[in-house]
Structure 1
Amino acid sequence: MAIPAFRPVSYSRTTLTELMIPSYANFGGKIHGGILLSLMDKVAYACSAKHAGNYCVTVTVDGVHFLQPVEVGELVSLLASVNYVGNTSLMVGIKVIAENVKTGIVKHTNTSYFTMVAKGDDDKPTQVPGLTLENHEDARRFLEAIKRRELAQRYQTELAEAKHGIAVEAELYKLEGERCQLAYTL
């Protein structure tokens, strides 16, 4: 079956729900961030692979914001949708919510953006279908993803320039008031 030229956002929208069990908890009784990251990676894969019609791999994880802790016994739902597609890449937005089934309280605990790349049978990046934006919210998310990509590219460029262009001696004044000390002499 041929992969279509375009697929709607709704085609690959994915929800993964899992009960948070005691073995997922840290010593403080809260769910490990790594458990949540693993679940986010799974839902990003499921969402992107469904859209792409191919195996997908994680390239970057952007903006993992742990807004509230997740407790043992809560149901965690990860809501994923393709927000943007390039030629071979997809940006998947993920919203994580936790529900206390006893109280009925639902809280937004995490947000993240995963960039995935589709791989063909030859294990090389392969083109993904375009994205049909079905409503105003889909268009807003696509435009936001473009801005997110632009900012990431600018950050990488500036960081690379800074690595090669920092004159340490001239910048040492910036360490004043910071929680560090020099253990060497200039």
Structure 2
Amino acid sequence: MSPKTIEESSVTLSQVMQPQDANPAGLVHGGVIMKQIDNAAGVVAVRHTKKICVTASIDRLDFHNPVQIGNLVTFQASINNVGETSMEIGVRVETEDLLTGKKTHTGSAYLTFVALGDDFRPVPVPRLNLKTADQKRRNREAIRRRKARLAEKKSEKICQDNAKHCTD
């Protein structure tokens, strides 16, 4: 399996927010944004692997600014790191007020996807061919997040298996 560049799988999706996307205050529901984040990341995962991919976790999702009805919301997604069968995909969310042209960083998220074979079991994913200093930096940061995520999972499992090993 040949390594792939980040550019081969990156995607930008945009959508105008409609009244059905909003709460009574006229702000778009966070869940609507979350769904589009998951969609954008899923496209990246499938493009990279050419396999069915599923969301394994959302490591972080930070909302920085609200989204209004009528705003154009753009989701820029790309792979940060790959493991054996999984990938971390970062998604940047930007909102544009179409009447003023003002763009705002609305949110960011890190998602882990797993590639599945025909039997719906995890399968290996192509390695990354990192080209730029920014891609290498994002890869290093993703490796740190993965180590922290796995350590937290291990700690939770120990706690679940034996409560006396839990710390407050």
Residue 165, structure 1, aligned to residue 159, structure 2: no
Could you tell me which residue of structure 1 aligns to residue 16 of structure 2? 19
Gap runs ≥5 in structure 2 = none
Show structure 1 runs of 4+ deviating over 6 A. none
Q: Pick from 77, 94, 98 the counterpart of residue 97 of structure 1.
A: 94
Could you tell me which residue of structure 2 aligns to residue 40 of structure 1? 37
Structure 1 position 47, deviation (Å): 0.5
Could you tell me which residue of structure 1 aligns to residue 152 of structure 2? 155
Percent identity among equivalent residues?
Answer: 34
User: TM-score, normalising length from structure 1?
Assistant: 0.84
Any residues of structure 2 matched to 1:107-186 within 5 Å, and which? 107-162=104-159, 164-165=163-164
Could you tell me which residue of structure 2 aligns to residue 174 of structure 1? none
User: TM-score, normalising length from structure 2?
Assistant: 0.93
Structure 1 position 27, deviation (Å): 1.5
Could you tell me which residue of structure 2 aligns to residue 176 of structure 1? none
Structure 1 position 128, deviation (Å): 0.8
Could you tell me which residue of structure 2 aligns to residue 75 of structure 1? 72
CA 1:167 to 1:121, structure 2 compared with 1: closer, same or farther past 3 Å? closer
Could you tell me which residue of structure 2 aligns to residue 55 of structure 1? 52
C-alpha contact 2:80 2:138 (8 A) present in aligned 1: yes
Q: Could you tell me how far apart the structure 2 residues matched to 1:49 and 1:145 are?
A: 19
Could you tell me which residue of structure 1 aligns to residue 6 of structure 2? 9
Instruction: Give SS of 1:110's match.
Output: strand
Please provide the CA RMSD for this pair.
Answer: 1.7
Instruction: Give SS of 1:34's match.
Output: helix
C-alpha contact 2:158 2:166 (8 A) present in aligned 1: no
Q: Could you tell me how far apart the structure 2 residues matched to 1:87 and 1:160 are?
A: 22
C-alpha contact 2:3 2:126 (8 A) present in aligned 1: yes
Structure 1 position 95, deviation (Å): 0.4
1:55 aligned partner, one-letter code: I
Could you tell me which residue of structure 2 aligns to residue 183 of structure 1? none
Q: From the CA coordinates, give the structure whose radius of gyration is larger.
A: 1
CA 1:39 to 1:167, structure 2 compared with 1: closer, same or farther past 3 Å? closer
Q: Could you tell me how far apart the structure 1 residues matched to 2:44 and 2:150 are?
A: 24
Gap runs ≥5 in structure 1 = 172-186
